Structure 1
Amino acid sequence: MRAIGFFFTLLGALAIAGEVKGIAFPTARWFFTVSREVPWLHAESVPWFGWAASALLVLVGVVMVSRSFTGGPGDPVIRRRMKRFREIKRGYYSLIILVFLAVLALLDQSLVGKRALAVKYEGRWIFPAFVAKEFKNKDFGMDGESAEAPANYRDLKRHFAATGKGKVILPPVPYDPTGDTLAPRSRPLELRDGIYYEGRGDKPYFGLAARYYDIEDSKIHLRYTMRNGKFNGPVDGWDKEGAQLYSGEFQDGAPVSDKFNGEGGKEEFLAVESSEPRAVKYHPAPPTPDTGNFLGTTSQGYDMVAYLYGGLQVNFKAALLFLPAIYLVGITLGMLMGYFGGWVDIIIHRIIEVFENMPFLFIIIIFSSVVPQDLKGLGMILFILVIFSWMGIATLLRTTIYRERERDYISAARVIGAGTSRILFRHLLPNTISIIVTLVPFTFSGLISALTALDYLGFGLPPEYASWGKLLNDGLANLSAPWLVSATFVALVSMLVLITFVGEAVREAFDPKKYTYYR
């Protein structure tokens, strides 16, 4: 509890400090970013949701830390259960891996993003990834048509490396999960006995190939069609400004016709210095380590590693909002149903029956159709999921409380004058904690599955959110790009297996038949 309290306090304090000082701390900036992006989460220019969420985090964190120091010795039953959990190695190590993944997700733009971590220019250091200001190319001495455009730090790094005017430090994965469309990738071709091969493969290359003015900027000089490792088919040529000047036809490696309509001569155009032929990989591009796309790109031109990371962040953020919401509603209503019974139980049970009989998918389709685009997002999807997800927890708590309220320790509490709230939260709730804790991992895995399924069907998050479900859909729509489905499948299944292992270990360690509060 103390560690979680310190974390909440630090996160909330960083969010508030970042808003006041204009610093974009990793993850902590999310509260105010969401508050500004969603219309109903801010009033005029005041991001009230960001302030409220940050203040609540600090308050909850401080209470948890203070309770950890003043609450007396830890519960021996809880200690025995935690010891038993650590003895179940499969679940314990799975939890460590999940915590590690959560820490990676918390690093946010310091690990994955197109904005530079640091830029040294004219003797001073600037940290674009950690400030709210949007820098332009002209701020770093780049002029021309792109001077007023937002700074492209990947191009800036190459420019500084060539001119020696500064230094750029990029994140380990220098791409944004979404909204960062890359130019078509390329891979080197190897010429052996007059035949071109892709890399060190043993099959002649089939596909498009190109000579580049600039490989990094994907400025193509000549683009060919290759069959059996030879130029065979149409060829096109462009000048450095992107205007097409040349076209022709190759057959069995030799030109049979061509046409040039630019200034100067054809021979001069063909003799312009450019790279050796390279295999052109349009999106979705396969893994190209030499360009930094270790898992390839999606059909939208996003880097796969960055997109998978963005999906991981969405899953953890969704869990942090979804789990407290459904457990707060489910536990509260379930305890009221079980403890009071009668009309309270009947009314809430009828409400549960109504919600359980609503067609969930149809409700999602209706919301997707009628909700304005500016209101769609993670919050709206989670709101709908919460509406349809609390019933199981409430029903389970109702059954447990029905049984527990008849035990002798509850009768003794009533005799000595304990009030309803004390009986509910100091006596009944601690004896249902094993059930609640056991359900958490499986609820988390259910949330990930639900988000993935909705995004796969096209009724989930907007395009600005990275989603593993949309990536699966993308992969099935592009079966010639197996890296899309395979990478997403491995990430999704690994995540669900880890959570399941943790859930099984928690269920065994918190088994009420092993350790209870009463005999």
Structure 2
Amino acid sequence: MFRKIGWILLVGALLSVAGELLSLKLPTLRWSFEVSREMDWLNWGSGDRPFLWFGWLSVFVSIACGILLLFKFPRDFQFTPITQRRIDRFRSIKRGHRAFVIVGFLALIASFDHLLVGNEPLLMKYDGKFYSPALQRFYERDANGDDVIFKGKHFGLSGDEAEAAPNYRRLKKTFKEEQDGNWLVMPLVPYAPTQDTVTVPTMELETREDGLLYRPGAGDPYSGLAAKIYDLDDPGRMHLRYRFREGLKDGAADGWDKTNNRVYGAEYSKGELISESWSGEGDVKAFLTTNSTPLNIIFYAPSPPSLTMGHLLGTTPQGYDVLAYLFGGLQVNFKASLFFIPAIYLIGISVGLLMGFFGGVFDLLVQRLIEVFSNIPFLFVIIIVSSSVPVQIKEKSGLGVILLILIIFSWMGMTYLMRTAALKEKARDYVAASRIIGCSTPRIIFKHILPNAVAILVTLVPFSVSGLVMGLTSLDYLGFGLPPKYATWGTLLKEGLSNLSSPWLVSSAFLCLVSLLILVTFIGEAVREAFDPKKFTYYK
């Protein structure tokens, strides 16, 4: 298993380097370079091509860890009998093992990144040439050698759309209508988690033989607003809007010209025209018969779930696709865990072992310091520190700032356990033997004492992950967490409780959050039971 992890780290690092050198946006592997590119303090230099030291440092660490695992665990490596029995015990606990497989599958799905959920095509053909905006960072290099990003003008768009990023969903529809050999393939969910406001969904209504208006497949006549639209790609430009009651026009009606000026007004009662007004140019009859769509329902954000409209879980108040937003939130949780867990364990383990091994004044001072910080309400401190960070820094650094704040106040809990383990282990004979043969203090601590405390560390990891997920969700729900450019489940919960008339928001976020926490808890319980020393101890 460890050799497989080593190969994954090594191959992943090499692919990340290749992607950066070839200007490719490889899923997940691009993340360290993208973060280094977005945050000024994680790169050196200025201009279009600064030195991304954080990205290259991440690659170096991945390669070093991969090589270390490959040399540390050769092909003939075997776990000790006790460790193997613990692993077998974990596999025998079906609930925990199945939860581990599910979480691993979710991590694999999240690693596909923008190849699975994104608003850029995986592959497209235009004017006989093939492109992959989802994987290519740049469209081409100009005569000066500068990088040119994808713009609408590269695919035949004009006007304001020419200098903006293309709307590939609309471009796909245009290619299909023109039928000139151009095509593109979008990801499975063709929406980005954030910063991608979708076109307002619409549903065409039907007039049946009885002369009444119905929803498709509905048994009762329609009651509510319905509108004729100039262009379905821009539902905000309505032509005519009517109120219906039990399938008949009833109430006020309005009309707008193509420049979005209100020029028509009318009043209906049970399908009969009572009065009308006209302030536009030309004949009112010509206006009413202007070419526009049939009557549609316009679902303004947040819109309800609908398979026909392409939004399985509806949209958020900002107009984002909920399914894509949930996927983005899952990615944020996994990315945060990859940095948060190693950081707090590195600090907590080191401090705890040093406290237990050296004792004395050092142990006393550090204990008092930890007790002071531990007695301060954790969430309140995080809120105060987070709110004091300037908005510009939080917008720029995003996840890094929040993780740094959480790491500063999250490492202290495990120091007591590691201190106790160090106090117990340093009194054993093997530590005394190590001292006699001349082992250095760092070697005794990290080579002899630490491996005997692994059981404690392994059992804590799942619960640390669940604590991180709850911490991020709480901060985002209270408004002190990540900036809006990140998709977070806490923000979706907040929006759902603010829009109780849209129950799909809060229900989807709640189910995802609770499901992930339950899975992680099942894993933690199984690991704790599998590594319980009493399972392999017999007393006379």
| TM-score band, normalised by shorter chain | over 0.9
Opposite residue 172 of structure 1, the aligned amino acid is L
Out of 19-28 and 320-329, give the one that drifted further.
19-28
Aligned partners of 1:54 and 1:422: how far apart in 2? Answer: 27
Which of 158, 168, 174 is equivalent to 2:173? Answer: 158
Q: Secondary structure at the match of 2:316?
A: coil
Opposite residue 121 of structure 1, the aligned amino acid is Y
Which of 392, 398, 414 is equivalent to 2:413? Answer: 392
- Residue 198 of structure 1: aligned partner: 215
- The number of residues matched between the two structures is 517
Aligned partners of 1:249 and 1:368: how far apart in 2? Answer: 54
What is the CA deviation profile of residues 432-482 of structure 1, one whole-angstrom value per residue up to 9, with x for unaligned ones?
Answer: 111111110111011001100100000000000000000000000000000
Aligned partners of 1:358 and 1:320: how far apart in 2? Answer: 27
Out of 64-73 and 453-462, give the one that drifted further.
64-73
Check the 8 A contact 1:177/1:308 in 2, yes or no: yes
Which of 191, 196, 220 is equivalent to 1:175? Answer: 191
- Residue 300 of structure 1: aligned partner: 318
Check the 8 A contact 1:405/1:428 in 2, yes or no: yes
- Residue 79 of structure 2: aligned partner: 74
Check the 8 A contact 2:387/2:480 in 1, yes or no: no
Provide closer, same or farther for how the CA distance between residues 289 and 350 of structure 1 changes in structure 2, counting only shifts above 3 A: same
Consecutive unaligned residues in structure 2, runs of 5 or more: 139-148
Q: Secondary structure at the match of 2:534?
A: coil
Q: Does 1:131 align with 2:136?
A: yes
What is the CA deviation profile of residues 258-277 of structure 1, one whole-angstrom value per residue up to 9, with x for unaligned ones?
Answer: 33333332211211233322
Out of 409-418 and 276-285, give the one that drifted further.
409-418
Opposite residue 281 of structure 1, the aligned amino acid is F
- Residue 411 of structure 1: aligned partner: 432
Deviation of 1:515 (Å): 4.2
What is the CA deviation profile of residues 101-125 of structure 1, one whole-angstrom value per residue up to 9, with x for unaligned ones?
Answer: 1011110110011111111011111
What is the CA deviation profile of residues 461-508 of structure 1, one whole-angstrom value per residue up to 9, with x for unaligned ones?
Answer: 000000000000000000000000111111111111111111111111
Provide closer, same or farther for how the CA distance between residues 505 and 61 of structure 1 changes in structure 2, counting only shifts above 3 A: same
Q: Does 1:487 align with 2:508?
A: yes
Give the percent of matched residue pairs that are identical in Structure 1 and Structure 2: 50
Q: Secondary structure at the match of 1:69?
A: coil
Which of 480, 485, 489 is equivalent to 1:468? Answer: 489
- Residue 118 of structure 1: aligned partner: 123
The residue correspondences of 1:141-152 to structure 2 (distance < 5 A) are: 141-152=156-167
Aligned partners of 1:233 and 1:15: how far apart in 2? Answer: 62
Which of 292, 303, 308 is equivalent to 1:274? Answer: 292
Deviation of 1:240 (Å): 4.2
Deviation of 1:241 (Å): 4.8
Opposite residue 157 of structure 1, the aligned amino acid is K
Deviation of 1:247 (Å): 2.9
Deviation of 1:349 (Å): 0.8
Check the 8 A contact 1:186/1:288 in 2, yes or no: no
Which of 322, 327, 335 is equivalent to 2:353? Answer: 335
- Residue 40 of structure 1: aligned partner: 41
Aligned partners of 2:502 and 2:221: how far apart in 1? Answer: 20
Aligned partners of 2:4 and 2:222: how far apart in 1? Answer: 56
Check the 8 A contact 2:199/2:233 in 1, yes or no: no
The residue correspondences of 1:355-504 to structure 2 (distance < 5 A) are: 355-376=373-394, 377-504=398-525
Consecutive unaligned residues in structure 1, runs of 5 or more: none
Aligned partners of 2:84 and 2:260: how far apart in 1? Answer: 69
Q: Secondary structure at the match of 2:253?
A: strand
- Residue 184 of structure 1: aligned partner: 200
- Residue 334 of structure 2: aligned partner: 316
Aligned partners of 1:340 and 1:479: how far apart in 2? Answer: 57
Check the 8 A contact 1:41/1:48 in 2, yes or no: yes
Provide closer, same or farther for how the CA distance between residues 230 and 398 of structure 1 changes in structure 2, counting only shifts above 3 A: farther
Q: Does 1:209 align with 2:230?
A: no
Deviation of 1:34 (Å): 1.1
Aligned partners of 1:444 and 1:453: how far apart in 2? Answer: 14
Q: Secondary structure at the match of 2:134?
A: helix
Deviation of 1:198 (Å): 3.2
Opposite residue 390 of structure 2, the aligned amino acid is P
Aligned partners of 1:514 and 1:485: how far apart in 2? Answer: 42
Deviation of 1:402 (Å): 1.5
Q: Secondary structure at the match of 2:230?
A: strand
Which of 351, 362, 366 is equivalent to 1:344? Answer: 362
- Residue 5 of structure 1: aligned partner: 6
Provide closer, same or farther for how the CA distance between residues 489 and 456 of structure 1 changes in structure 2, counting only shifts above 3 A: same
Aligned partners of 1:113 and 1:263: how far apart in 2? Answer: 44
Query: Alpha carbon RMSD of aligned pairs, Å?
Result: 2.0
Provide closer, same or farther for how the CA distance between residues 4 and 252 of structure 1 changes in structure 2, counting only shifts above 3 A: same
Aligned partners of 1:413 and 1:114: how far apart in 2? Answer: 60
Aligned partners of 2:368 and 2:531: how far apart in 1? Answer: 32
Aligned partners of 1:55 and 1:226: how far apart in 2? Answer: 66
Out of 258-267 and 154-163, give the one that drifted further.
258-267
What is the CA deviation profile of residues 175-234 of structure 1, one whole-angstrom value per residue up to 9, with x for unaligned ones?
Answer: 111111123222233445344343434454343222233334435322223333332233
Aligned partners of 1:12 and 1:501: how far apart in 2? Answer: 32
Opposite residue 181 of structure 1, the aligned amino acid is T
Aligned partners of 1:246 and 1:460: how far apart in 2? Answer: 47
Q: Secondary structure at the match of 1:289?
A: coil
Aligned partners of 1:455 and 1:477: how far apart in 2? Answer: 14
Q: Secondary structure at the match of 2:192?
A: coil
Q: Secondary structure at the match of 2:533?
A: coil
Deviation of 1:145 (Å): 3.6
The residue correspondences of 1:249-264 to structure 2 (distance < 5 A) are: 249-264=267-282
Provide closer, same or farther for how the CA distance between residues 208 and 383 of structure 1 changes in structure 2, counting only shifts above 3 A: same
Provide closer, same or farther for how the CA distance between residues 515 and 10 of structure 1 changes in structure 2, counting only shifts above 3 A: farther
Check the 8 A contact 1:283/1:298 in 2, yes or no: yes
Deviation of 1:70 (Å): 7.0
